[in-house]
Amino acid sequence: MKEKLSDVIERFKNLRVLVIGDAILDTYVKGNPDRVSREAPVLVFNVDEQEHQCGGAANTAINVAALGAETYFLTVLGKDSSSRELMDVLKKHRVHTDLILRDKGRVTIAKKRITAAAHMLMRIDEGTTSPISEICEKELLLKVAELLPQIDALILSDYGFGVITPAVINGLKELTAKESKLLVADGRDLSRFKTLKPDAVKPNYEETLQLLHIDKANYNRAEQVQLYAKKLHEVTGANKVAVTLDADGVLFLEKGKNPYRVLAVPQDNKRAIGAGDTFISAMTLSLAAKVKGEVAAQIAAAAAAVVVQKEGTVGCSNSELKAYFTAVPKYISNTGQLVEIIKDLKKQGKKIVFTNGCFDIIHKGHITLLNKARDAGDVLIVGVNNDESIRRLKGPERPINNLEDRITVLAGLHSVNYLIAFEEDSPLQLIKEVHPDVFVKGGNYTENTIPEAPLLSKLGCDVKIVPYIEEHSTTHIINKIRDINHEVEMEATATSY
Residue 67 CA to residue 292 CA, distance in Å, equals: 19
Average pLDDT over residues 299-305: 93
Check: pTM over 0.75? Answer yes or no. yes
- Distance of CA 408 to CAs 51, 200, 313, Å? 35, 37, 29
| Contact criterion met (CB below 8 Å) for 183 and 162 | no
For residue 290, is pLDDT > 50?
yes
Backbone phi and psi for residue 385, each to the nearest 5 degrees, phi listed first: -60, 135
Q: What is the pLDDT of residue 92?
A: 92
Q: Is 303 helix (H, G, I), strand (E, B) or coil?
A: helix
Listed in sequence order, the residues at least 6 apart from 489 whose beta carbon sits closer than 8 Å to its beta carbon are: none
For residue 430, is pLDDT > 60?
yes
277 is catalytic: yes
Q: What is the dihedral of CA 267, 353, 120, 81, to 10 degrees?
A: -120
For residue 184, is pLDDT > 80?
yes
- Which pLDDT band holds residue 473 (cuts at 50, 70, 90)? low
Strand order across the 16-21 sheet: 95-96, 70-74, 16-21, 153-158, 182-187, 200-201, 240-244, 250-254, 260-262
Q: What is the pLDDT of residue 369?
A: 92
Q: What is the pLDDT of residue 163?
A: 98
Q: Is 318 helix (H, G, I), strand (E, B) or coil?
A: helix
- Which pLDDT band holds residue 269 (cuts at 50, 70, 90)? very low
Does 268 or 244 have the greater pLDDT score?
244
Q: Is 29 helix (H, G, I), strand (E, B) or coil?
A: strand
Average pLDDT over residues 376-398: 92
| Contact criterion met (CB below 8 Å) for 463 and 392 | no
- Which pLDDT band holds residue 102 (cuts at 50, 70, 90)? very high
Exposure of 420 in the CB half-sphere (CA atoms within 13 A): 24
Q: Is 251 helix (H, G, I), strand (E, B) or coil?
A: strand
Q: Which residues pair with 286 in a beta bridge?
A: none
Beta strands in 60-168 (DSSP E): 70-74, 76-77, 95-96, 101-102, 110-116, 119-126, 153-158
Instruction: State whether CATH 3.40.1190.20 applies to domain 5-324.
Output: yes
- Distance of CA 116 to CAs 27, 49, 269, Å? 14, 11, 21
Average pLDDT over residues 130-150: 97
Q: For the chain, where do the domains classified as CATH 3.40.50.620 start and end?
A: 335-479
Average pLDDT over residues 328-355: 87
Where residue 460 falls (left for φ over 0; alpha for ψ -120 to 50; beta otherwise) is left
Residue 211 CA to residue 409 CA, distance in Å, equals: 45
Average pLDDT over residues 209-221: 90
Q: What is the pLDDT of residue 386?
A: 93
For residue 455, is pLDDT > 80?
yes
Exposure of 488 in the CB half-sphere (CA atoms within 13 A): 6
Q: What is the pLDDT of residue 347?
A: 79
Q: What is the pLDDT of residue 43?
A: 87
| Contact criterion met (CB below 8 Å) for 442 and 357 | yes
Look at the alpha carbons of 455, 460, 466, 472 in this order and tell me if their dihedral is positive or negative.
negative
Q: What is the pLDDT of residue 488?
A: 56
Q: What is the pLDDT of residue 272?
A: 53
**Burial letters 398-407, b for 16+ CB under 10 A, else e:** bbbbebeebb
Percent of the chain scoring above 90 in pLDDT: 69
Catalytic residue among 277, 344, 360, 437: 277
Q: What is the pLDDT of residue 1?
A: 44
Residue 324 CA to residue 330 CA, distance in Å, equals: 7
Q: For the chain, where do the domains classified as CATH 3.40.1190.20 start and end?
A: 5-324
Longest CA span, the chain: 103
Angle between helix 293-307 and 275-288 (nearest 10): 150
- Which pLDDT band holds residue 490 (cuts at 50, 70, 90)? low
pLDDT digits (tens, 9 = 90+) for 216-236: 988 789 999 999 999 999 999
Backbone phi and psi for residue 75, each to the nearest 5 degrees, phi listed first: -155, 180
Residue 145 CA to residue 178 CA, distance in Å, equals: 10
Q: Is 163 helix (H, G, I), strand (E, B) or coil?
A: coil
Q: Is 490 helix (H, G, I), strand (E, B) or coil?
A: helix
Q: Which residues pair with 19 in a beta bridge?
A: 73, 155
Listed in sequence order, the residues at least 6 apart from 52 whose beta carbon sits closer than 8 Å to its beta carbon are: 25, 26, 27, 85, 86, 88, 89
Residue 248 CA to residue 261 CA, distance in Å, equals: 9
Q: What is the pLDDT of residue 270?
A: 47
- Which pLDDT band holds residue 333 (cuts at 50, 70, 90)? confident
Q: What is the pLDDT of residue 439?
A: 95
Q: What is the mean pLDDT of the chain?
A: 90
For residue 372, is pLDDT > 60?
yes
Listed in sequence order, the residues at least 6 apart from 317 whose beta carbon sits closer than 8 Å to its beta carbon are: 66, 67, 68, 340, 341, 344
Where residue 106 falls (left for φ over 0; alpha for ψ -120 to 50; beta otherwise) is beta
CATH class name, domain 335-479 = alpha beta
Q: What is the pLDDT of residue 484?
A: 66
For residue 177, is pLDDT > 50?
yes
